[in-house]
């Protein structure tokens, strides 16, 4: 089936090719997030004081939020 035939079926079923909308909402409050960050910093400082090796993994090239700009939706 060609993409044109499929598009025609979608139109018959009133399904359109529309722009998507996405947003990120945290289930944690701002206070919880700050508390978790402080706990993490304390752990790092504790390891540094013990002169333990800290390994940093850069994940900046990883994009977890890749989404399509448009999708077929009613």
Given this model, what pLDDT does residue 18 score?
Answer: 79
Domain boundaries along the sequence of the chain: 3-59+69-73
pLDDT band of 66, cuts 50, 70, 90: low
pLDDT in tens, 3-59: 888 888 888 888 887 777 666 667 888 899 999 999 999 999 999 999 988 887 776
Residue 62 has pLDDT above 70, yes or no: no
Q: How far is CA 56 from the centre of its chain?
A: 21
C-alpha distances (whole Å) from 67 to each of 20, 23, 64 are 8, 11, 9
What phi and psi, each to the nearest 5 degrees, are found at residue 71?
-140, 165
Given this model, what pLDDT does residue 25 score?
Answer: 67
Given this model, what pLDDT does residue 63 score?
Answer: 63
Residue 43: exposure state from Cβ atoms within 10 A (0-12, 13-18, ≥19): exposed
Whole-model pTM over 0.85: no
Q: How many CA atoms lie within 13 A of 22 on its CB side?
A: 11
């Amino acid at each position: 089936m060609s993409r044109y035939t499929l598009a025609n079926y979608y139109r018959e079923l009133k399904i359109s090719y529309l722009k998507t909308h996405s947003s990120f909402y945290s289930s944690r409050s701002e206070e919880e997030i700050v508390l978790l960050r402080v706990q993490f910093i304390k752990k790092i400082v504790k390891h540094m004081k013990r002169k333990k090796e800290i390994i940093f993994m850069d994940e900046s090239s990883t994009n977890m939020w890749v989404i399509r700009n448009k999708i077929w939706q009613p």
